[in-house]
């Protein structure tokens, strides 16, 4: 792998980390040799993954994981079958663009594809193409499913969105050749660690309020008990001499009395960083927010 290609996420995803990367870079341990194992247990759209792949071409091993099976299958399709995927996406894109100006037909097309996606009967490459199509055309690029795992996000209002970014998909496919792609709970990644691996955790954020909850990426909720289970996992990694960096919402910024993360991670280094969040239906609420960057490295 050359690492010179500028790969970027192929999806829009709630909690995309583009703005936080600068801060994450500052908290990276001294990794001048850059020959280490990088593990991302909640990969989502992989903003940090692709940044790592672009900037550290000599990584020893890279492991990604997510509990969302449709997402992980899409990563696997891009890695193993990019050309067929691109052919299907080109057709979806041209059919969708041709409907521009005919709102009724466009809407019908979107909802037909959504229904087809939810049957989960298509073979893997076609299903992955539908996954990317829906991500590019739905409201705000959200991924939300109901209890039956049916994707239920309404149509977005984009005129002619890019559905098939051929150049990037090919670059992502090449970059993924050295990546081990796993689907399941975050804890399973431990068995893929080498001596002194670097983990980056971007779990579903703890909601700042009941109504701001955007953590339903999968059918099972990531509640406070899950946040505690993640902290316990971080403790285990620390004891095993691995390095980890974790981001989460800053609940204290909203309510000064709320010490949830300050208490959970009291033994570690907690930094508050400015971060713009782009997924918020209410424009007035988009604005400056702080987020937490927590690490077991002392020299943050």
| DSSP codes of every residue in 68-129 | -HHHHHHHHHHHH-HHHHHHHHHHHHHHHHHTTT-HHHHHHHHHHHHHHHHHT-S-HHHHHH
Q: How far is the CB of 105 from ligand SAM (least distance, A)?
A: 32
Binding mask 24-53 for ligand SAM (x = CB under 6 A): -----------------xx-xx-xx-----
According to CB under 6 A, which residues from 172 to 191 bind ligand SAM? Answer: 185-186
Choose between 109 and 222: whose C-beta lies nearer to ligand SAM. Answer: 222
CA distances (Å), origin 5, targets 9, 80, 175? 13, 18, 8
Q: Does 214 bind ligand SAM (CB under 6 A)?
A: no
218 touches ligand SAM (CB under 6 A): yes
CA–CA separation, 32 vs 58, rounded Å? 11
Alpha-helical regions (H) of the chain? 21-26, 47-55, 69-80, 82-98, 103-119, 124-137, 166-175, 224-239, 251-254, 260-264
Provide, rounded to whole angstroms, the least separation between the CB of residue 280 and ligand SAM. 14
Q: Which is nearer to ligand SAM, 16 or 82 (CB)?
A: 16
Q: Does 13 contact ligand SAM by CB under 6 A? A: yes
Q: Give the nearer residue to ligand SAM in terms of CB position, either 165 or 185.
A: 185
Binding positions for ligand SAM, rule: CB under 6 A = 13, 15-17, 41-42, 44-45, 47-48, 65-68, 185-186, 202-204, 217-218, 222
């Amino acid at each position: 792998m050359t690492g010179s290609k500028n790969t970027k996420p192929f999806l829009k995803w709630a909690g995309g980390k583009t703005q936080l990367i600068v801060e994450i870079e500052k908290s990276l341990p001294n990794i001048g040799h850059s020959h280490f194992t990088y593990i991302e247990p909640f990969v989502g759209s992989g903003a940090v993954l692709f940044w790592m792949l672009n900037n550290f071409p000599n990584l020893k091993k890279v492991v990604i994981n997510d509990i969302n099976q449709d997402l992980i299958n899409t990563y696997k399709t891009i890695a193993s079958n990019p050309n067929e995927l691109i052919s299907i996406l080109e057709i979806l894109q041209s059919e969708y663009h041709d409907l521009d100006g005919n709102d009724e037909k466009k809407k019908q097309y979107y909802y037909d594809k959504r229904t087809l996606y939810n049957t989960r009967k298509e073979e893997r490459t076609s299903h992955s193409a539908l996954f990317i199509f829906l991500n590019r055309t739905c409201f705000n690029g959200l991924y939300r499913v109901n209890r039956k795992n049916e994707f239920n996000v309404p149509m977005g209002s984009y005129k002619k969105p890019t559905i098939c970014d051929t150049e990037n998909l090919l670059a992502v496919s090449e970059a993924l050749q050295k990546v081990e792609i796993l689907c399941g709970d975050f804890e399973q990644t431990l068995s893929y660690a080498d001596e002194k691996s670097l983990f980056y955790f971007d779990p579903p954020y703890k909601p700042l309020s009941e109504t701001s909850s955007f953590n339903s990426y999968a059918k099972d909720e990531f509640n406070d008990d899950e946040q505690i289970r993640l902290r316990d996992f971080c403790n285990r990694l620390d004891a095993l001499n691995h390095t980890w960096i974790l981001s989460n919402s800053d609940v204290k910024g909203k309510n000064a009395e709320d010490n949830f993360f300050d208490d959970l991670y009291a033994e570690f280094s907690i930094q508050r960083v400015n971060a713009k969040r782009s997924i918020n239906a209410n424009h007035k609420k988009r604005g400056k927010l702080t987020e937490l960057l927590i690490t077991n490295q002392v020299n943050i």
